[in-house]
A and B are shown apart, each in its own frame.
Chain A
Amino acid sequence: MSRMEINELERKWLFVSLAMIGMFVGAIVVTAIGKGIHPPSHVETIDSASLHLSQEFAEDKLGVQPEPLADGSLQVRLVAGRYGFYPREIEVPAGRRIVFRMASMDVLHGAHIPMTNMSTMIVPGYVSEVVSVFPKPGEYPMLCNEYCGLGHDHMWSKVTVVAQENWREPATGGKQP
């Protein structure tokens, strides 16, 4: 066999490889374009140093927002800071579309609710927006999954998902438990 020749088997394998990769990418293209499933890519900047003086992330504006969004989703505003998500306990209804808006007041953080697709990085200087629906009521931890300093292990908050009929809309945002 000459060096510059491609063996028949190899040629077949090349097509198999291309088809396999094409299938994976194809599935992603369909879900991304057809169903709008994207990773959280909300390119929106904010001054992390003066978060507490901003309109949106002022201390009394955090938490589950009393007014639902136009499409009926609930908005939850959280600030990630060493070492917790503030407010540290929130309550949301099951089965409802929830839009999390999060910003960091200090360093890099990550937010993840295990066993759900609620996950995003929180980078100083940016607002992270991530949408999720929690089908099952229960108490979930929201864990910081990005190294943020020596207290990183302690950085978590409680998210209680309650059945839609038991859920009452909060009077104001930003109540700390």
Chain B
Amino acid sequence: MKAILLVTTGMMLAAGVDAAPSTQVAWTPATLDFVKKGDADRGKTLSAPCASCHDGTGTNPNLNGQLPTYLYRQLQDYKSGTRQDPATIMNAMASTLRDQDMADLAVWYGQQVPMLGAGGATDVTGIAERGEGRRMEPACSACHGTGGQGEKVDTPRLAGQNAAYLEATLLAYKSGQRANDIYSRMRLIAGKLSDVEIRQLADYYSRLK
């Protein structure tokens, strides 16, 4: 993966082409309104093929109760390729969706009862609640909400999420494999976490109710 990145960077420098932004989505009032007005009933119909994978197993995320803005942007990023699914399934799925389909799906999943953790969450790292000044690490809760419920505009809900997915995601940010965070914000944060801390944080958020 690193080799590919280096090659692409080299090519772009040679050609004098600008690097692609990490997402093509901008949360202008028009886009916000478009997503808000998504049709949940249509989204329900469209979601039929999603359920087989998004059932909380493996490293697949649970989508119920996720912020519609977050879901919409991820689908757009999969389609435009700024987020790469290692298995390429999501890129293929998203390429068939129109903007309206994405908004409908996002609203449908956003309306579902959120995933719930098993409880017993303790923040062993101290980073979820307090952050760490020495490493310039803000607390996770500062952006993702004190209960990990997600915040406006498109900071995702983490509470109750599949731990394996959370861990894989943080590792992907750390390695740079996932790069659809604007201005590298999550890459910078995850890059300073140890793999052990990543596992502990994933466990913590998966347990939150």
Contacts and interface: CB of A to CB of B under 8 A. Distances in A.
B28 A154 contact: no
Contacts, number: 78
A59 B184 contact: yes
A50 interface: yes
Interface string A95-131: 0000000000110000000000000000000000000
B138 A49 contact: no
B136 A60 contact: no
Contacts of B19: 58-60
A6 interface: no
Interface residues of A, number: 28
A37 to B, nearest CB: 32
A88 B137 CA distance: 12
A52 B29 CA distance: 16
Interface stretch (A12-20, A23-31, A75-83, A159-167): A75-83
A150 B139 CA distance: 8
A149 interface: yes
Place the interface of chain B in its size category: 20 to 34
Interface string B175-198: 000000011110010000000000
A155 interface: yes
Given A52-B26, A59-B184, A105-B182, A88 B142 contact: no
B59 interface: no
Given A151-B138, A154-B139, A154-B142, A59 B182 contact: yes
A151 B143 contact: yes
B149 to A, nearest CB: 13
B122 interface: no
A52 B21 contact: yes
Contact of B24 (A53, A153, A156, A176): A53
Contacts of A60: 18-19
Interface of A: 47, 49-50, 52-53, 58-62, 79, 81-84, 86, 88, 105-106, 149-151, 153-156, 172, 176
Given A49-B29, A53-B24, 4 more contacts: A49-B27, A53-B26, A150-B146, A153-B133
The 5 A-B pairs at the shortest CB distance, nearest first, are namely: A151-B142, A50-B26, A154-B138, A151-B138, A60-B19
